[in-house]
Amino acid sequence: MFYQEHHPAHFHVVYGGKSIVVGIDPIVIMKGELPLNLRSRLFEWAAIHQAELRANWELARGQRPLLQIKGLD
């Protein structure tokens, strides 16, 4: 996530030199593309951590440090 972002709530994923924009609620790729297997893992991770992603969105909007979110094992 970046500070001073625009709505809707989203986060950025960098993969293979490309930036992908992912909505938080609903979890959807807003910009960019990922291979199907990676998209499935990303959606799984985002669903598990959706509340944390929402909290980080609010923290970023308030210029506060973000919480670290654990990756998939």
For the chain, 73 residues long, give each residue's pLDDT as a single digit of tens: 777 778 899 999 998 888 899 999 999 999 999 999 999 999 999 999 999 999 999 999 999 999 999 998 7
* Distances 68 to 13, 55, 56 between C-alpha atoms, Å: 15, 11, 9
pLDDT, residue 45, reads: 97
Residue 69's pLDDT is: 96
Q: What is the pLDDT of residue 10?
A: 95
Q: pTM, whole model, 2 decimals? A: 0.88
Residue 73: DSSP 8-state: -
- For residue 8, give both structure tokens: 């809707």
Domain ranges of the chain: 10-61
How far CA 3 is from CA of 30, 33, 41, 64, in Å, comes to: 18, 23, 25, 9
pLDDT (0 to 100) of residue 5:
78
